[in-house]
Structure formats: C-alpha cells, structure tokens
Amino acid sequence: MKHPLRWLAAGIGLVVVAFAVVLAVQDDGPRQTGGRLLGQEMPAFDLPTLDGGRVTSEDLAGKTVVVNFWNSWCIPCRQEEDELAAFYERHRDDGDVALLGVVRDDTEQAAREYAEQAGLGWTVALDPEQQAALDFGTTGQPETFVVAPDGLVTGVQLGPTSLGQLEQMLEEARTGAPSAP
Amino acid sequence: MSAAVRRWLPWLALVAVAAVTVAVLVARSAPDDSDAARAARLAREIKCPVCEGLSVADSPEAVSEAIRTDLRRRVDAGEADDEILAAYAARYGEEVLLRPEGGGLGLVVWGLPVLLLVAGGGALAVALRRWSREPRLEASAADEALVARARDGGP
Amino acid sequence: MVFAASINSALGRAGLLLMLAASVFGALAVLYGIRQHDRKLLKQGPLYAWIAFGGIVLAVVMMQRALITRDFSLAYVQQVGSADTPALYNIAAMWSALEGSILLWALILAGFTAAVAWRFRKRTDDVLVAWALIVMFVVSAFFAMLSFGPADPFAAGAPGVTSGPGPNPLLQNHILVLFHPPILYLGYVGFTVPFAFAIAALVTGRLGEGWLMETRRWALFSWAFLTIGILLGGWWSYEVLGWSGVWAWDPVENASFLPWLTGTAYIHSVLVQERRGMLRVWNLSLVLATFSLTILGTFLTRSGVVDSVHAFVESSIGPALLGFLAVVALSGIGLIAWRGDRLRAPGRIDSPVSREAAFLANNLLFGAFALVVLLGTVFPLLAEALQDRQLSVGEPYFDRLGTPIGLALLFLMAVAPALPWRAASGELLRRRLIVPAWIGVATMVVALLLGADGVAQVLTFGLAGFALAGVARQFAVGIRARRRAHGESPPAALLGAVRGNPRLYGGLVVHVGVVLLAVGLAASAGYATKREVRLAPGETATVAGYDVTYLETVTDRSDQKVTVQARARLVRDGDDLGVYAPAISTFPNATGGIGTPSVRTGLFEDVYLTLVSSPTETGRVTLGIAVNPMVLWLWIGGAVMALGTVVALVPGRRTTAVHLPAATTAASAATGPADGGPADADRVAEPEVPVG
C-alpha cells in the first residue's frame, strides 16, 4: 500500500499545484462582452426608415458608414445625441460619409416621437425584428460602429460616444487603421 | 418447473417488464424535431450575452427574447444547428456557447470524468475480484480487538 | 493612517486583535504543552479558544452597532449601509459584501473552536484533542489575519459621507437574505472540526476510528446546515431572481455544491470505517477534500476570477486564500502519504454485493460528480490560462454528465440499505429487493400511462418508487421486530425502533427527503411550461390550463424604492385563484430595475408570474407566465432531510439484553448496530464484535 499510495499522493499533489497556478494567473477584471465585429465585414441589412423608405447596406457601399444603435428611453443615448448631431452637421455634405441611426429595442411610435421632438436630421432606420441588432452583435445601447469604404468594421464604441471620438474613428476608417474599442 | 427457475422467475419477469417499459420510454422521449422544439433546444445552448451564465431560454432579458425570436427565424429558414451556433459564436464570441467543445481543450472537461468513472470502476472491479479470490482468514473478535488496540494505542 | 475612525472601529479592531492573539498563543501554548507533556498548559488550551470567541463577538457586535447606528465613518458602512434601508436589512448588510462576510466566517469559526474546546475540556491531555485544537487555532488565526489585511472591515472611510448606497437591491427584497449566508457558513465552517481531528489523527498516528467517532455528530450537523443553506439559496433564486429556476450552475453555487458532494460521500464512507476499519485513506481524503473545497469556494466567491451573480468585489484576498488552500491541500496530502503504512485496513471487502462495496461505489460516484462540477466551474479559467480563449460551461454540460451519475446514485441509495455487511447471499437479496424493485417498475409504468416522457424523468420516478419502497420495508421490518419482542402497538413500536437505532432510521428519513427532492427536480426541470405574453388591460392569456387576465398596473412610491406592480387574475377551470402581482422595483441608488416574481405555490404545480416590461403607451404589459410542476416538493424534501438529520443526531439508547427469536436477530443484525449511549460518545469506541 505504501508505494502506490505515495505515487498517488504525489500525483494528486502535482495536480493541486498546477490547479493553484492556473487560478493564480487569472486576471480578475470584468470581461468585455460584445465588440466582436472589429475587423469583420459589416453585416448586410435591409431596414425600413422612419420617413417611410428603406435603407440597405448596399445603398451605403463604398462610403464610410457610422451606424449608431439607440432608442428613446436609454439615458446615455440622449447624452450622446448632441455629439451625433454635431458630427452630422460637419459631414452631412460629405458624399462619402453616411450616418445611420438604428432603433434598438423600442416601439416605433416612441422612436418616431423622440426623433421628431429632438429633430434628428440623419437617416433613422427601424429594426422591428431586432435582426440588425443581433447581426451586429449588440447587447445594449448606445453602440456605435464605424465601417470603412471597403465594408470592414474599423471602429466599435460600446456606450455613449463623443464628437472627438467619432472624428477619430472616421479618420481611422478613411486611412485604414483600426481603432480599439 | 425446476426450483432454480421458480426462484428466478419473479426477477426475469421484472427484467422483462422493465425492459419493455424503458423501450417505450425511450421511443416516446425521442427528441422532437419540429422547428419550435429545435429552436427551444438551441435556446438552451446559447448564453444570454448580458447575464451571468443564464441561457437565453431562461433569461428574461430583452436581448434573450430577441435571440429566441431570431433562433426560430433561422430554424424556419432551414439553417442547421451547428451553423446557427457557429454564427452566434462569431457574433458574440465563443463564450456564448454553453456546451464546451468536444475536441481540443474540451477533451479535458468531457474526458476526465468519463476516464475517472471507467478507471475507477475498473480498479474497483479488479480489486473486488482479487479480494474475493484470496483465502480469507477468519479473524475472531478477540483478534481484531487486539490488533485495533495495538495499532491505535487507545484504551 | 487613522487607526480608529470611531469607537466602533476601535473596539472592533481590538476584538479582532484579541481573536488573533488568542488563536496564535493558544496554538503555541497547546503545542508547547504537548511537547513538554505539561498537563497544566494543555488544560489552559480551551481558555484561549473562549477568549478568541469573546474577541470576535466583540468585533461583530461593534460592526452591527456601526451598521445599525449608520456610523458612516467606516468605509464598510459607507459601502453597504444606507440611511434609507430598514434596520433589519442593515443587520444582514454585514454579510452582503466581502469584509463583513469574512467577519461572519471568523465568528462562526471561533464559535466552533470554542464549542470543541468546551466539549473536550475534560480531555485536554488527550494528544488527539490537543492537536485538533491546534489546527483549529491555526485556521482561526488565518481568518483573523485576513481581517487585518486584505479584508479589513473597520477601515476608515472617506470623511464627510452621510449615507451609502445600501446593500445590493437584490438583497433587500426578501427576508431570506437574513438566513441564507449564516446557515450556509455554519455548514462550510463546521467541516473544519472533522478536518482538524483528521489532521490530528494523522499527526499523532492515532488513525483508528477514534477521530471519526468524536466528530461524527459535528460532521453530520455541518452537513445538515450546508444542505439547508444550499436549498435556501435555491429557494431564494426561485422566489426572488425571477427566472423561475432553482439552480443555474453559477460558479458560486457550484462552490457550495462541491463540499456538499464530498461531504455526503464522507458521512457515508465513515460508516465503513466504523464497522470494519476500512476505507481509511478514503475517509481522510474525503474530509481533507471537503475542507479544501470550502476554502476553494471562498476563494472563487471572493477573488473575482469568475463572473457570478454572487461575486463580491475583487480584492487582494484572492492570493491569501489561494495560498492557504495550497498549504492545506498539500499538507494534508503529505500527511496521508507519510502515514501510508498505518492506513492499511484490517479487513477486506469480501463480496461485490455487500454494503462495503456499495459505499465504495458511492465514493466513486460522488467523486466523479465532484470532478464534473469542479471541471465545469474551472474550465473557463483553464481555457483562458492555456489558450487565452473565453469559454463557457453551462447547463448542457452539467446535465449531460451529472444526470447519469445522479441516477446511479439514486439506484445505489435504493439498493444499499438492503445489502448486508460483508456478503449477501443471493437468497437474502432477492427476498429483500424483489418487492421494492417491482414497485419501482410499477411506478415507471404508471408514469408512462399518465403521459410522462423524458428518459431521465421517468427513470427518476421509477428509482424514487424503488427507494421509497425499500425504506418502507426497513421500517416495517423494524416495527415488526419490536412488536414481536415487546408486544407494542405499531406507533409505539415505530417510536421504539427509531429510538433503538436513530442513526439508521434517521438516515432512512433523509433518504426519503432525497427522493422527494429528486422527484421535484426531475419534474420541475422536465415539465415546465414558459411563455411571454403581451396583454392589454382586460386581456387574458392561457398557459397550461391557467387563465391569466391582466387587470391594471399600480405604482407605489416609498423612500426606499419605486415599485410598479402588474395585477393579474388567475383562473383555472373556472375557479378564481386570486390576484397576483409581479413587480419591478427601482432603487434610488442603483441603476436598473429589480424584478419581483409573483408565485402561486400549489401542491403539484406553481404558477410563476413575472413582469417583463412595464406598460407601454398603449397600456400593454409583457408578462412572463410559467407553470412549474412539483417545485414545492423540493422544499418538502429539504425539510424531510433536515428532520432525518435531527433524528440521526439523537443519542441512541444502549439496548438492553433481550431474548429475541433468531429470525429477528438476523434481521436487526443485518441492518446495523445500535448506537452507544451518551456516555459512549465521550470515549473512543470499543472495537466492534462483528455480527455474522
């Protein structure tokens, strides 16, 4: 019994040490969910817009696209609205830049009312079946994606964005250097 | 009917009835291949991206509801199970799959318990056979008491 | 650095210091007493334990005072206390975050040490007892030290703060929050006692049954509280969290389940060592594993390496706990290896069809189950460490591997009590098992006829029938034996039988509880119906035969929270079952709403209502409606398990010599010996006369 037991004990002891090492090297920060789209192709979509038309990913091909998921009841969305409006003002006449808002997890009526009341000038698409929200890998709102003209996502921002950040992501999309979320 | 058969008859009957019962049970419990059932099964395999480990089937979150609807849509569109799971892993990361992979690193988590059961069961069987074959020394009560006292140094 | 922000923290720190000092000096004094064979010194050992207990009581009293008087000079009170929270929840706030929970652990640990010191105060010269005390002192000192370093509950907070966010809103919803952690900790910490005695046995070389017998009741007591604590957690998850489930395989839940698995194996396996002196290495390993797993559990909960509903804010406590875990595990393994030559059993397992073999199989199955749960919990960490990948392990894994093991354990539970010690003749087994086996099969047939499906579910029902019939048979045998011997009426015979062998009958009652629990789990997991419906006021949805009519929404505002309630009427088969009101509460100091489900608990099924989203502009609400069968039986099963444990803890009567007919002797001999009387528990058990 002595020898088998000691070998067994040694083996188990080794496993315990290995186990402790695995536990010790863990970093204990919160893990980020989402933002996997970076470097991937922008998902295709075909959505109705608030003004009654439709917008598809093909319509926006070849442009630098900023896709912003938002809704009427999320407070950070309201915070970033001014930033988006300022960005839109700067680039509304740039033929190669498009800003698209997508309503996420909200009723059409509430979104429409808010858009009218806030005077959102840019194209706002509805996502009635949450298809685009899922295809883009969103888990909440606001989430902003910046897509380069070749169709690859170069910038992701989870949470409210700012004018400066939007400009930076735009620059990176144009010049081709991806920015980290 | 010989005495031996009569002895075992209740057990044979039992085994027969049990076998039939289990057969019926297995047949009845075959997984439902309807679209709704497939979608429900897939919902148990995908983790709600904003929860701490709940599946989208269990989670009351809005994202989970959206994913459940999307799963039904994909199943109706004819996508295969692994296609759908792969799409979700691509979109939300590998950690959204609640069932660890079968190969690679997954061998650790699936293989070790099976290995333990098989090896342990085997060792048990071998040991039992070895012990039952060894001649038994019939120790008397006094013998065992003597040995116990000597070993443990107790009162 | 300010040493003391207020009188609360000054006295609190003093109390902690007292506990630390008393534990350290106690360990040293007893150690010295052993070496020098100084009986006087050994006799003082318990004194240190009681002083340490006094110290931690002072610290806890001061912390409670600080919480109740809202002393915001303490950082901890700033974190978990709040001027708006009712006083009752402030008491429980002590264990709602890291530092206070360590304080609670230390309190219970010192309490157990003091209790052990009291229980054995007349035997301080026994080396086994002395070493056990030393181990308990060392563990106490470690936890006291945690309260001086990484988990300081009396640290001064930022000046000028007049209120705090209060405990997590989830913890303010239900009275259960008061009970779940302390009860769970009683279970966790209680296993320190058998562990300490096991280490003492290894160190002193007294590896017979002495250490087992001393700690039998302590182990059973701790096991019972761990069981109840886990079930309370499940109940809380069901009643409060709103997803209508009882178990999520959350890492912290698993952390409490792991020591339960090895602990259950342990309390069964020690029966073999008591009876035949075998499985010594198993028992030492199991108790070592159980204690180590409690420390691992503490580590996982508090270090932040796993994401969990339970996770506390990470701190530097992680490395300390990990280091302690490594020291404990490796020392234990080393001691067992060192004493290997003394651990040879005097007996052998004679037959695969014997109770010893069944217990060995039991150990193997529980060990495998523990491995499954451990691997599943730790695999994401492993994947990240080895391949830098984020992976998850969830219900599909635990179900796939755990269900077959669980069914095998149920089977063993049904069969093993009928197996005699040493060896079974085929005739005996056939006679004992045939009727319960038929009842088991009949149960399956009935279930199928009633329309049940699902292999695991129906097998569970069949095994449940088998096990219950086996228990009934044993009770019947015991009652009949007593009636023949004493001529008692059936109820008196039952009482007499139980009193004569409380361990056996208590254990059987616990098994009944397990069966009820298993049936509840199988049915609620397998046959639940869940739907989400959008209803306007007055509209009705029907789920599984229940008509749910949404009536209206009521909003209630208080200082503590704002609650939106959706009132709905429940009707079944024309019977009005009343109005139920699931709600969502929002708290001023926390973002996001907390859902409160409304549950109609029935004997055979629950109706579980949740408010998924508040009324929209159209006035429609989204309600979650779930019908969950047999959930009540989970809690009934738990209560029965607790009852059985109480019976098993009762000191048995020493049976007087009675002339019994031969048949009865054989029957009672095969089912187990009578326990010794109260006087026996104090002494090392006499080696048993084997009854053939």
Distance CA C586, CA C595 (A): 9
Q: In this structure, what DSSP letter does residue C55 have?
A: H
Residues whose CB falls within 8 Å of the CB of residue A140, separated by 6 or more in sequence, listed in order:
A74, A158, B50, B63
**CATH number of the domain to which A40 belongs:** 3.40.30.10
Identify which of B98, B112, B128 has the shortest CB distance to residue C394: B98
Distances (CA, A) of C215 to C115, C289, C651: 12, 16, 14
Answer whether the bond into residue C153 is a cis peptide, omega within 30°.
Answer: no
Distances (CA, A) of C184 to B119, C89, C105, C199, C508: 34, 18, 10, 24, 24
Judged by average pLDDT, the poorest of B35-39, C365-369, C514-518, C655-659 is C655-659
Q: How many interface pairs between B and C have CB atoms less than 8 angstroms apart?
A: 188
Cβ–Cβ gap B70/A140 under 8 Å = no
Identify which of A10, A26, A109 has the shortest CB distance to residue C305: A26
Beta-bridge partner residues of A54: A48
Distance CA B67, CA B98 (A): 15
Cβ–Cβ gap C248/B54 under 8 Å = yes
Condensed to tens digits (0 to 9), the pLDDT of residues C421-458 reads 888 787 888 889 999 999 999 999 999 999 998 999 99
Cβ–Cβ gap A19/C322 under 8 Å = no
What percent of chain C clears pLDDT 70, i.e. is strictly above it? 89
> Is there a domain that residue A71 lies in?
yes
Nearest CA in chain C to B102: C397
Condensed to tens digits (0 to 9), the pLDDT of residues A45-56 reads 999 999 889 999
**Which two three-digit tokens encode residue A164?**
């400066």
pLDDT in the model for residue C607: 94
Q: Which range among A112-121, C132-141, C160-169 has the greatest average pLDDT?
A: C132-141
With both helix axes pointing from N to C terminus, report the angle between C455-486 and B3-28 in degrees, rounded to the nearest 10. 140
Cβ–Cβ gap C304/A23 under 8 Å = no
Which residue out of C322, C348, C612, C614 would a mutagenesis test of the A interface target, given it has the greatest number of A Cβ atoms within 10 Å? C322
Strands across the sheet with C598-601, in order? C529-535, C621-629, C605-613, C598-601
Distances (CA, A) of C412 to C364, C442, C650: 12, 19, 26
Distances (CA, A) of B69 to A45, A69, A128, A134, C190: 17, 19, 11, 11, 48
- Please check the confidence at residue C202 and state whether its pLDDT lies above 90: yes
Using a CB-CB distance cutoff of 8 angstroms, which residues of chain A are in contact with residue B70? 129-131, 134
Identify which of C305, C326, C341 has the shortest CB distance to residue A28: C305
Residues whose CB falls within 8 Å of the CB of residue C636, separated by 6 or more in sequence, listed in order:
C516, C520
Window B:40-99, CB contacts with A under 8 Å = 49-50, 62-63, 66-67, 69-70, 73, 90-93, 95
Condensed to tens digits (0 to 9), the pLDDT of residues A101-138 reads 999 888 888 889 898 888 888 899 999 888 899 999 88
What number is the ipTM of this complex? 0.86
Identify which of B62, B70, B95 has the shortest CB distance to residue A105: B62
Which residue out of C458, C463, C623, C682 would a mutagenesis test of the B interface target, given it has the greatest number of B Cβ atoms within 10 Å? C458
Nearest Cα to Cα of residue C537 among C437, C623, C477, C418 = C623
Nearest Cα to Cα of residue C287 among C308, C318, C263 = C263
> Is there a domain that residue A123 lies in?
yes
> Is there a domain that residue A64 lies in?
yes
- Bigger pLDDT: C121 vs B4: C121
**Which two three-digit tokens encode residue B82?**
């692994």
Condensed to tens digits (0 to 9), the pLDDT of residues B71-127 reads 999 999 999 999 999 999 988 889 899 999 888 889 999 999 999 999 999 998 888
> Is there a domain that residue A59 lies in?
yes
The rounded radius of gyration (Å) of the Cα atoms in chain C is 27
- Please check the confidence at residue C649 and state whether its pLDDT lies above 90: yes
Cβ–Cβ gap B50/A36 under 8 Å = no
Nearest CA in chain A to C303: A28
C-beta neighbour count of C622 within 10 angstroms: 20
Nearest CA in chain C to A25: C385
Mean pLDDT of C473-488: 90
Cβ–Cβ gap A139/B50 under 8 Å = yes
Backbone angles phi, psi at A43, to 5 degrees: -65, 145
Using a CB-CB distance cutoff of 8 angstroms, which residues of chain C are in contact with residue B12? none
Distances (CA, A) of C589 to C83, C166, C168, C409, C562: 11, 8, 9, 47, 11
pTM: 0.89
Cβ–Cβ gap B117/C368 under 8 Å = yes
pLDDT in the model for residue C594: 79
- Please check the confidence at residue C341 and state whether its pLDDT lies above 70: yes
For residue C611, the surrounding DSSP H or E stretch is strand C605-613
Confidence at C287, pLDDT banded by 50, 70, 90: very high
Using a CB-CB distance cutoff of 8 angstroms, which residues of chain B are in contact with residue A74? none
**Which two three-digit tokens encode residue C190?**
């209680």
* Chain B neighbors (3+ CB pairs < 8 Å): A, C
Nearest Cα to Cα of residue C497 among C517, C515, C471, C516 = C471
Distance CA C539, CA C550 (A): 6
Mean pLDDT of C553-579: 88
How many folded domains does chain A comprise? 1
Mean pLDDT of A15-26: 86
Using a CB-CB distance cutoff of 8 angstroms, which residues of chain C are in contact with residue B14? 434, 437-438, 441
Cβ–Cβ gap C344/A1 under 8 Å = yes
Q: Which range marks the domain in which residue A156 is found?
A: 28-175
Name the one residue in this structure whose structure tokens are 């004569």: C500
Distances (CA, A) of A53 to A47, A48, A96, A115, C128: 9, 6, 21, 16, 85
Identify which of C318, C330, C385 has the shortest CB distance to residue A28: C318
Beta-bridge partner residues of C584: C564, C595
Condensed to tens digits (0 to 9), the pLDDT of residues A60-71 reads 888 999 999 998
pLDDT in the model for residue B109: 93
Residues whose CB falls within 8 Å of the CB of residue C588, separated by 6 or more in sequence, listed in order:
C84, C561
> Is there a domain that residue A112 lies in?
yes
Cβ–Cβ gap C382/A5 under 8 Å = no
Distance CA C608, CA C248 (A): 17
Name the one residue in this structure whose structure tokens are 């207020």: C6
Mean pLDDT of C604-630: 88
State how far residue A25 is from chain B, nearest Cα, in angstroms. 18
Confidence at C662, pLDDT banded by 50, 70, 90: very low
Nearest CA in chain C to B4: C427
Cβ–Cβ gap A28/C281 under 8 Å = no
Using a CB-CB distance cutoff of 8 angstroms, which residues of chain C are in contact with residue A28? 303-305, 314, 318
Cβ–Cβ gap C340/A6 under 8 Å = yes
**Which two three-digit tokens encode residue A149?**
């003209």
Cβ–Cβ gap A28/C617 under 8 Å = no
Cβ–Cβ gap A26/C385 under 8 Å = yes
- Please check the confidence at residue B36 and state whether its pLDDT lies above 70: yes
Rounded to the nearest integer, the mean pLDDT of chain C is 87
Mean pLDDT of C349-364: 90
Rounded to the nearest integer, the mean pLDDT of chain A is 85
Residues whose CB falls within 8 Å of the CB of residue C446, separated by 6 or more in sequence, listed in order:
none
Identify which of B50, B90, B91 has the shortest CB distance to residue A140: B50
Backbone angles phi, psi at C299, to 5 degrees: -65, -50
Identify which of B66, B90, B93 has the shortest CB distance to residue A130: B66
Distance CA C409, CA B96 (A): 32
Name the one residue in this structure whose structure tokens are 């303010």: C172
Confidence at A31, pLDDT banded by 50, 70, 90: low
Q: In this structure, what DSSP letter does residue B144 have?
A: H
Nearest CA in chain C to B18: C441
Residues whose CB falls within 8 Å of the CB of residue C370, separated by 6 or more in sequence, listed in order:
C258, C261, C262, C265, C289, C293
pLDDT in the model for residue C176: 72
What percent of chain A clears pLDDT 70, i.e. is strictly above it? 91
pLDDT in the model for residue B129: 83
Confidence at C691, pLDDT banded by 50, 70, 90: very low
> Is there a domain that residue A87 lies in?
yes
Cβ–Cβ gap A36/B91 under 8 Å = yes
Mean pLDDT of C500-519: 96
Residue A18 forms contact with C (CB below 8 Å): no
Mean pLDDT of C629-640: 96
Using a CB-CB distance cutoff of 8 angstroms, which residues of chain A are in contact with residue B97? none
pLDDT in the model for residue A1: 47
Residues whose CB falls within 8 Å of the CB of residue B81, separated by 6 or more in sequence, listed in order:
B38, B42
- Please check the confidence at residue C167 and state whether its pLDDT lies above 80: no
Q: How many interface pairs between A and C have CB atoms less than 8 angstroms apart?
A: 67
C-beta neighbour count of C425 within 10 angstroms: 11
* Chain C neighbors (3+ CB pairs < 8 Å): A, B
Which residue out of C330, C389, C613 would a mutagenesis test of the A interface target, given it has the greatest number of A Cβ atoms within 10 Å? C330
- Please check the confidence at residue C404 and state whether its pLDDT lies above 90: yes
Condensed to tens digits (0 to 9), the pLDDT of residues C66-94 reads 888 888 888 888 888 777 777 777 777 88
State how far residue C191 is from chain B, nearest Cα, in angstroms. 24
Residue A105 forms contact with B (CB below 8 Å): yes
- Bigger pLDDT: C582 vs C302: C582
> Is there a domain that residue A139 lies in?
yes
C-beta neighbour count of C402 within 10 angstroms: 18
> Is there a domain that residue A89 lies in?
yes
Mean pLDDT of C307-319: 69
State how far residue A76 is from chain B, nearest Cα, in angstroms. 18
Asked if A38 and A181 count as a contact pair (C-beta separation under 8 A), the reply is: yes
Asked if A158 and A35 count as a contact pair (C-beta separation under 8 A), the reply is: yes
Window A:132-161, CB contacts with B under 8 Å = 133-137, 139-140
| Three-state secondary structure call for residue C657 | coil
Name the one residue in this structure whose structure tokens are 């008397």: B140
- Please check the confidence at residue C519 and state whether its pLDDT lies above 90: yes
